[in-house]
Structure 1
Amino acid sequence: MDRASFNIARVRSALLIGSALVNLGVPTWALAETAPESDSGLEEIIVTAQKREQSLQDVPVAVTAISEASLETNRIVSVADLNGIAPNVTVRPAAGGTQIASFSVRGVNSYGVVPGSDKEVSINLDGVYISSARGSIFDIADIARIEVLRGPQGTLFGRNATAGAVSIITRDPTGKFGGTLSGTIGNYHQRRLRATLESPQVGPFSAYVTFQHNERRGDTVNTAAGLVWDKTGPDGLGKQTSPKTLGDNNAESVFAALKFEPSDSFNMVYKYDWASNDYTPEANVAVALNPNSGNGRLLSLVMNNQVAGVATTGAFVGQTIQAGVVPVFATSGLRTGFATNGWTVPGKQRYSGHNLTANWRATDNFSAKAILSYRKSFLYGASALQGMSGMVITPAANAAIQADTSGLISTATKAAYAAAVGNRLHEGGTQRIYRNEQYSGELQLNYTTELVNATAGGIYFHSNEQEGGPSTMWSSKSMYIQIPNSTGLLPQANGTTGAQSPNEARFLPRATSIAAYGQVEVHVLPVVDLVGGVRYTHDHKTGTSYIGGLWNPATPGDRVNGVMTYTPSQVSSFVYNNNQWSYTFGVNYKPNNDTLLYAKYSRSYVSGGQIGNLPWKPEIAKSWEAGAKTTVFDGKLRANLAVFSVTYDNLQFANGGAAYALIRPDLALFPTLVVSSRPPARARGVELELTAAPTRGLTLGANLGYTNFKFLGPLNGEVLSIAGLCGTEFALNLPTLGACEIAQSKNYRNTLTPKITSNLWAQWESEPLFNADTRLSIRLDAQIKSSMRIDANLDAPLPQPGWAALETVPSTLILNGRIALSDIQMGGINTTLALWGRNITDDKHIQFPGGVGAGVERSASFQQARTYGVDLTVKF
């Protein structure tokens, strides 16, 4: 049986298991559930998806809630762990060492990678919108609940939630003295230690503090380890070494909460979080190379002439350079455990936040909440995006280049390589420093009677960002041949960087948003409610971009002392102002306490903006959704169904800037660009979530999501060029771009968006063992995704026959499991011992694709390797 057939077979088997569960009358799914304590049925789930506490079954929103117990059972410690948890939702780390959580929700990719751009899925921590996409993969201790809302959420959650929202709620102090100490040991040198100390109630005050250390060695060996890059400069980076393994994490965090509750009607909770993570970016592995393209030909000749042990003299700065390496390829499109990432060096992530929330219940009908927040973050990452960095232009490689007669290498290029013998060939990479600072304040009012539920509020938000390469160094570059072994491309004595000017790009975007919102639910009949909500938002953005140019040291050759002056070749500033309305209208029908039928229409948006000289319009999402929520069989079976249709105008998406030089040469230096599709795009689908407790101690679950996404018309020429459909893949010039648009854009496809997602799980908990409270529990999860494209254009000619297998990632099945002995009583100390595994079958498929340019090279990062370990937790 071949690999594709095997994957189809195992997905079919998993789906048959799910069908069998349905036929038995016990199909189930809701991660917020644990095994019920009695035969009475499933426990009630309380969510705040509408800014007030409600039962999950009473909320006319497609939402999956994950409780504190299920977070522990499923080992969910960061946003990235939400992959596969909810129907039509996938999450993966983006390439480039940016710590970005790339979401795909209902057929739409939420990325937010471009400086100053926003994303389609908003992440909220204790009611505070986190604007930064970079660094959005982070550990948070003491999570009480995570709610994953699908579909436009613009009325209550604001701008930048056209595909959905993730709401993370941390727990408040309990006022009961106690503590928790837990530790983990696992493969890949996993070590995790978490310690929590909770204070007793002292007058109106209670508090707790948690410290957490989490480390793990990466699952990929770097065959270009040990390369030293001298990045000495004003940012204090110093000399850095390419690491032995890729995907490392070494994080420490502190979370603290202080509650002031002078009365039953008023309380204030202050929360502080701080974290530091020294990590290495995920591996990027070359999977295909086209030697019949210009750059592909050069790479092939250099790769085939890496002589073991060669040591040549770098003509660039006159120093001895280390031997080059032959790049590792994963031609099958599966993880091999090896990568050649010579340019990659350890990254640094730092963030902290302050949150003050005040709650006041004035009467039984009226309450108010105020939230003040300040957050800041820092990220430094340098990553080899194409998996081929670390090679040396050896004398043998230069001889092969000079002798080449293919016609793909120009005379000027041959001369440049001849002058660079002994230097490293840097092929596709980035190095970025990112800083973000944000302030926000929100006032929320709630009014509830037997006739009406009303919520109103206002919010102020402001953020400052800084992004670019380290001072005096470039930020991103493809095919740079004049990088000596010991430099990060710093200015020479005359302030230049050699024959090629640096690809400098520095961005300083700022954003302010002021909004007012209100939503009313009116009980017009005993079983019918009408719902209406509206939000008005004013967006004000400004920013400056510095492109190209030179860094000039105060003293020639001095990298650190004195004042570095920067002379950009292009400076672009912009001012963006825009006002938008978001709204929702719906009807709820509740014939009894166990059934809710709802239908609604919503409008939401993602803010527009500008980078350099390129503006983009707001993305508008208009959605129809209908759903049914029911609980039957005396509360032992819960079924939630949603069907939806969303139309997106000016859908924002990002692509590499290399192809953009075709029509906008002044913007070719941008690492990535965001654009808006001129024709509408439409996503239609269905979501089903089922949960059941057929017998005492047994909980079963299943979910299923299906989305059909397509563009409703031809993309415009600008979008096609940026997306690499015409300018690069078909080598067409601007005058013929219109013909390419008509012929090819109809077959443009979204990437990384599987049509079908599903999750099947079962959890069993025993009766008390050994005449005590000790219980044995077992849980198994199966996450299923249908095949998904990683190449956008169905019509693009394949440069090599072997590339056909790299157009699509086949259907995948990920198994996670846990076995635990809990509530072991030892002298007043409650102990839990658990054995767990993630990706038990060791799936190796592509997770995030990359490439230098269409038709030149393909690279990818892969599903994280199988991990397993043991947890020991004690509570007192």
Structure 2
Amino acid sequence: MIDWHRRSVWFASTGLAVVLHGAPAYAQDTGGDGGLQEIVVTAQKREQSLQDVPIAVTAVTQDSLQANRIFSVNDLSSIAPGVTVKPSPGGSSVPVFTIRGQSSFGVVPGSDKQVSIYIDGVYVSSPRGSIFELPDIQRLEVLRGPQGTLFGRNATAGAISVTTRDPTGDPHIKAEASLGNRNAYRYRVTADLPQMGPFTAFGSFVRNYRRGEVRNARGGLIWDRSSSRYGVQVSPNWLGTIDSNSYFGAVKFEPSDSFKVVYKYDRNEDEGTPDVTGIVGYDPAFAGLPALVGNILRPLYASQELYVRADGKRPNVATNGFTVPRTQTVQGHSATATWQATDSLTVKNIFAYRKSSVLGPTPIDGISSLTFTQPALVPYATLVAFSSIGSPGIPNAAAAQAAIPAFARQLQPLVGQRFLLVAAQSASTSRQWSDELQVNFTTGNLNATAGALWFHSKDVAGGPDGLQNTLSFPTFVPQNGAIPLGNEGIYNNKATSVAAYAQLEYKFTPQLEAVLGARITRDKKSSTFTYNSRGPTGIVSPDMMVSPPDFKKTKPNFLVGINWTPNQDTLVYGKFSNSFVSGGSTGGIPYEPETAKSWEVGVKADFFRNKLRTNLALFHVDYNHFQQSQSTSTVASAALALPILTQLYGPVVANEILPKLSVFVGDQGKVRARGFELEVTAAPTRGLTIGGSLSYVDISFPFIEPGVLAANGGRLDVTARPEWTASAYGAYETQPLFGEATLSLRTDAFYQGKMGFAANPDLQIFDWNRGAAQVDGYWTINGRLALRHLPIGPVDAELALWGKNLTNRRDATTALFTPFSTSANYVPARTYGVDLMIEF
């Protein structure tokens, strides 16, 4: 077998050779004013040309945002090489990023994520606070690889930087309306006010609705959470519905050319429904469960329609009766003051406050809820009898057997009630405050960036106000939908972080530059976990609380790099950098900071008078103490957590806490990622732009924590991380057809390579769920055709047709394996429609 180094060099050099070999064809057709425009990014905390930045960064342009319907970070999958994004299983749709072999969840309360998200320079700490629509994006940058020096902690895989526009002071109104399939409509209004002295301002509103793509066979069920602030909710008839309102406003105060303050406010209200969770299959014999449990589930599964889709593709109908519309609000305030002290010195301060609140109940098993039927009564009475009196094989087993008829009579009222197996209804509220001071100094051969940051956050997560966050077997709910109290677990987390950083770039010669960066971060986290239990009689025990020791850690980050510019159109760079994700504990289960050490070599080159652009990066990253979210509803994760909890609190308390934790962070060990990323863009002739990307990553586990390996049956495969991703696009705009009207066409295609979902196929893959073993590589295709600059009186208009996932791929994006069934989530269905936009 060819070793990785030879293989990566071969792939990278072949890709670059293909680009250079094809270049003369572009050079031959250079008529007109064609050429690639300069793209400005802020990947190093100051505005620079994309080609001058020694970072693997992709800048998503306005045309790409429009053509691919990118409205939130969840829409960014494959837009940059090696980057995939998917909503996490569960109703809150937390984005799960995969960049350079690192999969970033951050769904465990109090934990952090490996891909940081920034809005106008403000770090968004809560993953549940990162799902929102911003209507006025000016720049969107995807930074790949550790970004610990300038962007700080929690960026071991990369960072997403969103920059919104400032007010212009020019009176202007822009209105957009869109109609699409599945009753979709989206409209947006943006109004810029005229300048009033030193003040300028604008505001935007977006209304977005689209009916879901999968019918819910259990729609209409009432769920009563009156004990909480969420009240009575109804399960929807359609799954995957978008239903949101977004608000955005900005005010700029600029009393002089050297000083300005920009205040921005964003708010997103989301009442959409979670995407479908489908069932791939179940074990008719329930061989992985105790016989008494299997005897209950067998008649339940057999008596009801489950809409099993054994091929692992998105179904048309699903039984997701526990799902209800999300209740989600995300909002933020920021104030950015900028002082241009001299031509060489700029001082900036960013103060911000953000808040998010979300509840998104959803099934995890793909079927909740079922109706408890008569054939399951005696098997359930048998389980209760043996659990209450004895177990098979011990002296009082005969007494338990004799008591079964009495228990069956007592439990008869349960027939007809709803029966939940594994269903999530976690709620969370997060608040954060931050202030960052930045100083940029440029003179002669030196560029210097320095800063200091203070950050503080509070969040509460768990079941909604007295309810269990993960409802598991056996949970009965009466037909009136009143969800029982008890078995509650509530996390209260606080985090404070202070940091200082500096980066120096010094030119020894016009061609040779050295980069040195450092950051020091002090983290402190405190938490409590409060829980209670609901006994067989329905009585809820008093609250119990565990208070783990505070987590305190000071961590440094470094960056050392060399930049070489042999000519004005070429940058060759090499660097070493490191980063970390903060540690902490979940209910007392500790986890160490995750660290990343990265080597990267890159080339950025423009050819033929800016008609061809090629950016190539080769990387090697070692992650240590890889933080992997774990669910206590799975056997492997429960086996991993129970010994730790037992050591902390003793066996009795440990067994009480385990099901109420729901999720925790586990230390998987070490992960190694090596690969390359290639981006190519060409403008061979006026009006035509073509481009694409190709990335490969080889992922391995040099060391796996023994407890993790044992809990997974001695085998741990790479899951949910494709080795190959690619993209291709073409955009063409004609000369004016009449007046100033032009025709614009853009098509984008994104490829995600084959990936597996089973960490241990020997234990998890059987004939009945083989469709979830892996997903083969596939392309998704988007397109947009627009007639621009249509003159309608004084109004400039644009009319467009668009489509997304035109081939209607139905592939799975995640799969969850349990001892008795397998569930999955999927690529969103095809959408298409028409846009009308006017400006005046």
Fold-level similarity (TM above 0.5): yes
Task: Choose the corresponding residue for 1:203, options 194, 197, 201.
Answer: 197
Shift of 1:831: 0.2
Structure 1 CA distance for aligned equivalents of residues 685 and 101 of structure 2? 37
Give the match for residue 236 of structure 2: 243
Asked if the contact 2:128/2:356 (under 8 Å) is kept, the reply is no
Paired residue type of 2:744: S
Give the match for residue 798 of structure 2: 832
Give the match for residue 357 of structure 1: 336
Asked if the contact 1:476/1:503 (under 8 Å) is kept, the reply is no
Task: Choose the corresponding residue for 1:533, options 517, 525, 548.
Answer: 517
Question: Is the deviation greater in 294-303 or in 61-70?
Answer: 294-303
Task: Choose the corresponding residue for 1:618, options 593, 611, 620.
Answer: 593
Q: Counterparts of 1:298-377 in structure 2 under 5 Å?
A: 298-306=296-304, 326-377=305-356
Figure out how many residues of one structure are paired with residues of the other and give that number.
Answer: 785
Asked if the contact 2:252/2:262 (under 8 Å) is kept, the reply is yes
Task: Choose the corresponding residue for 1:701, options 670, 691, 704.
Answer: 691
Q: What SS does structure 2 have at the residue aligned with 1:350? A: strand
Asked if the contact 2:627/2:667 (under 8 Å) is kept, the reply is yes
Structure 2 CA distance for aligned equivalents of residues 767 and 542 of structure 1? 62
Matched, 1:780 2:774: no
Shift of 1:18: 12
Matched, 1:725 2:719: no
Matched, 1:265 2:293: no
Q: Counterparts of 1:3-18 in structure 2 under 5 Å?
A: none
Shift of 1:676: 1.4
Task: Choose the corresponding residue for 2:569, options 566, 588, 594.
Answer: 594
Task: Rate the CA distance shift 1:550–1:399 in 2: closer, same or farther, 3 A.
Answer: closer
Q: Counterparts of 1:749-760 in structure 2 under 5 Å?
A: 749-760=717-728
Shift of 1:73: 3.0
Q: What SS does structure 1 have at the residue aligned with 2:508? A: strand
* Superposed CA offset, 1:448-495 (max 9, x none): 01210000000000000001111232110222242222244334xxxx
Asked if the contact 2:311/2:770 (under 8 Å) is kept, the reply is no
Q: Counterparts of 1:431-442 in structure 2 under 5 Å?
A: 431-442=425-436
Give the match for residue 860 of structure 1: 824
Task: Choose the corresponding residue for 1:685, options 649, 664, 675.
Answer: 675
Asked if the contact 1:622/1:648 (under 8 Å) is kept, the reply is yes
Paired residue type of 1:506: I
Asked if the contact 2:324/2:362 (under 8 Å) is kept, the reply is yes
Paired residue type of 1:850: L
Give the match for residue 103 of structure 1: 97
Paired residue type of 1:842: N
Task: Choose the corresponding residue for 2:546, options 566, 571, 574.
Answer: 571
Q: What SS does structure 1 have at the residue aligned with 2:836? A: strand
Paired residue type of 2:590: P
Paired residue type of 2:664: L
Question: Is the deviation greater in 684-693 or in 653-662?
Answer: 653-662
Shift of 1:40: 4.3
How high is the sequence identity, in percent, across the aligned residues? Answer: 41
Task: Choose the corresponding residue for 2:771, options 805, 810, 814.
Answer: 805
Matched, 1:761 2:729: yes
Asked if the contact 2:673/2:699 (under 8 Å) is kept, the reply is yes
Structure 2 CA distance for aligned equivalents of residues 342 and 197 of structure 1? 42
Asked if the contact 1:371/1:442 (under 8 Å) is kept, the reply is yes
Q: Counterparts of 1:469-618 in structure 2 under 5 Å?
A: 469-491=463-485, 502-549=486-533, 567-618=542-593
Matched, 1:185 2:186: no
Shift of 1:398: 2.8
Task: Choose the corresponding residue for 1:219, options 203, 213, 217.
Answer: 213
Give the match for residue 837 of structure 2: 873
Task: Rate the CA distance shift 1:568–1:687 in 2: closer, same or farther, 3 A.
Answer: same
Asked if the contact 1:661/1:668 (under 8 Å) is kept, the reply is yes
Structure 2 CA distance for aligned equivalents of residues 250 and 607 of structure 1? 34
Task: Choose the corresponding residue for 1:849, options 809, 812, 815.
Answer: 815
Q: Counterparts of 1:287-306 in structure 2 under 5 Å?
A: 287-290=280-283, 291-294=286-289, 295=293, 298-306=296-304
Structure 1 CA distance for aligned equivalents of residues 170 and 370 of structure 2? 60
Shift of 1:382: 0.7
Matched, 1:428 2:422: yes
* Superposed CA offset, 1:178-224 (max 9, x none): 10010010011111010011012221111100011001111110001
Asked if the contact 2:31/2:685 (under 8 Å) is kept, the reply is no
Shift of 1:400: 6.9
Q: What SS does structure 1 have at the residue aligned with 2:274? A: coil
Paired residue type of 2:159: A
Task: Rate the CA distance shift 1:468–1:449 in 2: closer, same or farther, 3 A.
Answer: same
Structure 2 CA distance for aligned equivalents of residues 648 and 510 of structure 1? 26
Q: Structure 1: which 5+ residue stretches go unaligned?
A: 1-15, 29-34, 307-325, 492-501, 558-564, 727-743
Structure 2 CA distance for aligned equivalents of residues 441 and 781 of structure 1? 39
Task: Rate the CA distance shift 1:230–1:135 in 2: closer, same or farther, 3 A.
Answer: same
Q: What SS does structure 2 have at the residue aligned with 1:301? A: helix
Asked if the contact 1:36/1:42 (under 8 Å) is kept, the reply is no
Q: What SS does structure 2 have at the residue aligned with 1:258? A: strand
Shift of 1:842: 0.3
Structure 1 CA distance for aligned equivalents of residues 361 and 312 of structure 2? 24
Asked if the contact 1:392/1:424 (under 8 Å) is kept, the reply is yes
Asked if the contact 1:538/1:577 (under 8 Å) is kept, the reply is yes
Asked if the contact 1:27/1:701 (under 8 Å) is kept, the reply is no
Task: Rate the CA distance shift 1:54–1:286 in 2: closer, same or farther, 3 A.
Answer: same
Give the match for residue 8 of structure 2: none
* Superposed CA offset, 1:301-352 (max 9, x none): 212134xxxxxxxxxxxxxxxxxxx222111111122110111111111111
Give the match for residue 671 of structure 1: 662
Paired residue type of 1:227: L
Shift of 1:661: 3.8
Give the match for residue 9 of structure 2: none
Structure 2 CA distance for aligned equivalents of residues 625 and 17 of structure 1? 18
Give the match for residue 61 of structure 1: 55
* Superposed CA offset, 1:507-564 (max 9, x none): 001100000000000001221000000000000100110123369xxxx99xxxxxxx
Backbone CA RMSD of aligned residues? 2.6
Asked if the contact 1:522/1:531 (under 8 Å) is kept, the reply is yes
Structure 1 CA distance for aligned equivalents of residues 799 and 16 of structure 2? 30
Asked if the contact 1:434/1:466 (under 8 Å) is kept, the reply is yes
Q: What SS does structure 1 have at the residue aligned with 2:23? A: coil
Asked if the contact 1:135/1:349 (under 8 Å) is kept, the reply is no
Q: What SS does structure 1 have at the residue aligned with 2:768? A: helix
Structure 2 CA distance for aligned equivalents of residues 123 and 814 of structure 1? 25
Asked if the contact 1:344/1:383 (under 8 Å) is kept, the reply is yes
Task: Rate the CA distance shift 1:545–1:402 in 2: closer, same or farther, 3 A.
Answer: closer
Task: Rate the CA distance shift 1:868–1:36 in 2: closer, same or farther, 3 A.
Answer: farther
Matched, 1:394 2:373: yes
Task: Rate the CA distance shift 1:714–1:231 in 2: closer, same or farther, 3 A.
Answer: closer
Structure 1 CA distance for aligned equivalents of residues 497 and 348 of structure 2? 20
TM value normalised by structure 2? 0.90
Asked if the contact 1:188/1:217 (under 8 Å) is kept, the reply is yes
Q: Which runs of 4+ in 1 moved over 6 A?
A: 16-22, 400-404, 407-418
Asked if the contact 1:242/1:344 (under 8 Å) is kept, the reply is yes
Paired residue type of 2:471: K
